[in-house]
Amino acid sequence: MDFEALKKYSALHPKPAGLTLQYGTAGFRSKAEQLDHVMFRMGLLAALRSRATGSTIGVMVTASHNPEEDNGVKLVDPLGEMLHPSWEEYATQLANAEEQELQKTLTEICQKAAVNQQKDASVFLGRDTRPSSKKLSQAVVDGVSVLGSQYHDYGLVTTPQLHYMVCCQNTRGQYGKPTLEGYYQKLSKAFMELINKSPGSGEGQRHLKIDCANGIGALKLSEMQPYLPKEVLIHIYNDGTKEKLNHLCGADFVKVHQKPPKGLDMKPNERCCSFDGDADRIVYYYTDTAGHFHLIDGDKIATLISIFLKELLAKVGQTLKMAVVQTAYANGSSTRYLEETLQVPVHCVKTGVKHLHHKAQEFDVGVYFEANGHGTVLFSKAAENTIRQLAKEEKDDAKKEAAKVLENLIDLINQTVGDAISDMLVIEAILALKGLTLHQWDAFYTDFPNRLLKVQVADRQVIETTDAERRAVTPPGLQEKIDALVKKYKFSRAFVRPSGTEDVVRIYAEADTQENADALAHEVSLAVYHLAGGRGAPPQP
């Protein structure tokens, strides 16, 4: 390591003394002006991680669903997964080391993680459309370069595209070509083959309105459009030319507020969906003829995909083990439907794609979705090989056809991480193949009335949770209070947890009526405010 160069470059990206930031649910997130040193240091860390794994590592500059003024960084591991938890700790140490401790901290990480500094290193970079992203991404380049690592800067890409590139690179092209063209070609080819099999194929066009949250999704969808079949007409809204990123639009806004985004005009029964700021989440919605808004969130997406996969797996006659992974935010009605009606095992894990992804890897076919629309499907290598072999060699025509559909799905799904573009195409293909309208899909089950709220506290880390975040362990008395409040309402539950991407505590409540869910969520938010050091004025109903 060239410590002189390190010192020189680090001085160009100084750490504000005393500032500490935590590696959160999906990397670091903060106000953009606080992040220059974090980016430089994550460039350093990516180079070390690359040497430790002997693989290319990804660095994505984005704060996803957060406001435009924020920014953040997500690190991508060799197969396109989120950074391994053992390295999250190193990331936090490195980000928070004061200037004079930087060299020592780096040396310690190299020792603990047995990094061979003679090895080559390679880093892939990407960034979202935030005004601050370009400069912050240059800070990553400085960090990567000062440790002598190679890098390839993809510039503006969606987060899942970067995950995809990293996986393609490290599997030496087995997963696909590590180029945007390769991504568009692989997905559109699989999509085309699926759509051509649908009963309505050739009978006119399918329209879909997409709210791109004024973010990167708009750019990349436009690029992909020429690759898509003419039967599928996508209409892009909130493309970032007029309004601010994520402002009153995007998947997070639609999910939390349960209402349409600004800037997208909806006619009854039109198919609409929203991406989030870096296009790794998607939710669908429509209004009925009476003008009522209907949200189809990640839980319903998981259900649609599970139904379809279960039918196909039954047709190919394979006893592949399938399961669904959710978080505590999953609507109770979805869990019940999956377990009781569909008879698919469901597992609940902590919030964060890394936790869902990890659990889903335990099954032949693991479907994971957060209610907020972040999710994908994982196929084990063995399951994928079996399916591909059946698609090629099976004698029974019906079985062979089902295997081919599964094979196309495997190619269409971005198995590295939740991907709004890929998920949208998967959903469109399933709806077309099954001849389903959004109304029919929505009617699979009825969500229990629910409410999501946020409360600001002085230090959100005072709340510690257990049981996949469904119970609070600290501060003392909070869980007892929540239990007492929940008892007041029928068919109710509630939980609280500190966000790992925003400076807030999140509150979730379900009850028998919307009024009761709202009341319960409000009462729990007051309990958090009073027992966990609320900031500002108490929450209002």
Residue 167 vs 232, nearer CB to ligand G16: 167
Binding mask 63-82 for ligand G16 (x = CB under 6 A): -xx-----------------
Stretch that binds ligand G16, among 88-96, 106-114, 197-205, 494-502 (CB under 6 A): 494-502
Cis peptide before 475 (omega within 30 of 0): yes
Interaction residues for ligand G16, span 412-441 (CB under 6 A): none
Taking every pair of Cα atoms in the chain, the longest distance, rounded to a whole number of angstroms, is 69
Distance between CA atoms of 296 and 479, rounded to whole angstroms?
Answer: 31
Cβ at position 379, least distance to ligand G16 in Å: 21
| φ, ψ at 348 (rounded to 5°) | -110, 130
Residue 280 vs 411, nearer CB to ligand G16: 280
Residue 413 vs 429, nearer CB to ligand G16: 413
DSSP-based three-state secondary structure for 306: helix
Cβ at position 341, least distance to ligand G16 in Å: 26
Q: What is the residue type of 487?
A: K
| 235 strand-pairing partners | 209
Q: Are 510 and 494 in contact (CB under 8 A)?
A: yes
Residue 191 vs 369, nearer CB to ligand G16: 369
Q: In terms of residues, how long is the chain?
A: 541
Cβ at position 253, least distance to ligand G16 in Å: 12
What is the DSSP pairing of strand 28-31 with strand 70-76? antiparallel
Those residues with Cβ within 8 angstroms of residue 347's Cβ, 6 or more apart along the chain or in another chain: 323, 324, 325, 326, 359
Cβ at position 21, least distance to ligand G16 in Å: 14
Helix (H) or strand (E) holding 181: helix 180-196
DSSP-based three-state secondary structure for 473: strand
Residue 347 vs 400, nearer CB to ligand G16: 347
Please compute Rg for the chain using Cα positions: 23
Size of the site for ligand G16 (CB under 6 A): 18
Tokens 């568009």 found at: 184
Stretch that binds ligand G16, among 84-92, 209-217, 257-265, 497-505 (CB under 6 A): 497-505
Q: Are 409 and 425 in contact (CB under 8 A)?
A: no
Residue 353 vs 520, nearer CB to ligand G16: 353
Q: Give the Å distances, CA to CA, from 500 to 143, 288, 460.
A: 25, 35, 10
- Taken in order 417, 72, 281, 232, the sign of the CA dihedral is negative
Residue 22 vs 34, nearer CB to ligand G16: 22
The residue from 10, 25, 238, 492 that contacts ligand G16 (CB under 6 A) is 25
Residue 191 vs 508, nearer CB to ligand G16: 508
Q: Are 505 and 458 in contact (CB under 8 A)?
A: no
Stretch that binds ligand G16, among 168-176, 284-292, 314-322, 370-378 (CB under 6 A): 370-378
Tokens 């599964």 found at: 406
Residue 277 vs 539, nearer CB to ligand G16: 277
Helix pair 3-12, 36-53: axis angle to 10 deg: 150
506 near ligand G16, judged by CB under 6 A: yes
Stretch that binds ligand G16, among 219-227, 236-244, 275-283, 516-524 (CB under 6 A): 275-283
How many CB atoms within 10 Å of residue 410? 18
DSSP-based three-state secondary structure for 99: helix
Binding mask 196-235 for ligand G16 (x = CB under 6 A): ----------------------------------------
Distance between CA atoms of 485 and 521, rounded to whole angstroms?
Answer: 9
Q: Which residues are catalytic?
A: 64
Cβ at position 476, least distance to ligand G16 in Å: 23
The residue from 211, 299, 364, 502 that contacts ligand G16 (CB under 6 A) is 502
Cβ at position 210, least distance to ligand G16 in Å: 17
Residue 13 vs 130, nearer CB to ligand G16: 130
Distance between CA atoms of 164 and 368, rounded to whole angstroms?
Answer: 18
Supply the DSSP symbol for 415: T
The residue from 499, 503, 533, 535 that contacts ligand G16 (CB under 6 A) is 499
Cβ at position 413, least distance to ligand G16 in Å: 17
The residue from 68, 276, 419, 423 that contacts ligand G16 (CB under 6 A) is 276
Cβ at position 418, least distance to ligand G16 in Å: 8
Binding mask 324-353 for ligand G16 (x = CB under 6 A): ---------------------------xxx
How many CB atoms within 10 Å of residue 436? 18
Q: What is the residue type of 80?
A: G
Please, where are the H alpha helices in 54-175? 85-96, 102-112, 133-146, 159-170
The residue from 68, 211, 370, 523 that contacts ligand G16 (CB under 6 A) is 370
Cβ at position 500, least distance to ligand G16 in Å: 3
| φ, ψ at 430 (rounded to 5°) | -65, -45
Distance between CA atoms of 404 and 283, rounded to whole angstroms?
Answer: 27
Stretch that binds ligand G16, among 150-158, 229-237, 297-305, 500-508 (CB under 6 A): 500-508
26 near ligand G16, judged by CB under 6 A: yes
The residue from 37, 374, 451, 522 that contacts ligand G16 (CB under 6 A) is 374
The residue from 182, 332, 500, 533 that contacts ligand G16 (CB under 6 A) is 500
Cβ at position 168, least distance to ligand G16 in Å: 21
281 near ligand G16, judged by CB under 6 A: yes
Residue 41 vs 374, nearer CB to ligand G16: 374
Closest CA to 442 of 294, 334, 270: 294
Cβ at position 249, least distance to ligand G16 in Å: 14
Catalog residues that contact ligand G16 under the rule CB under 6 A. 25-26, 64-65, 276, 280-281, 351-353, 370, 372, 374, 499-502, 506
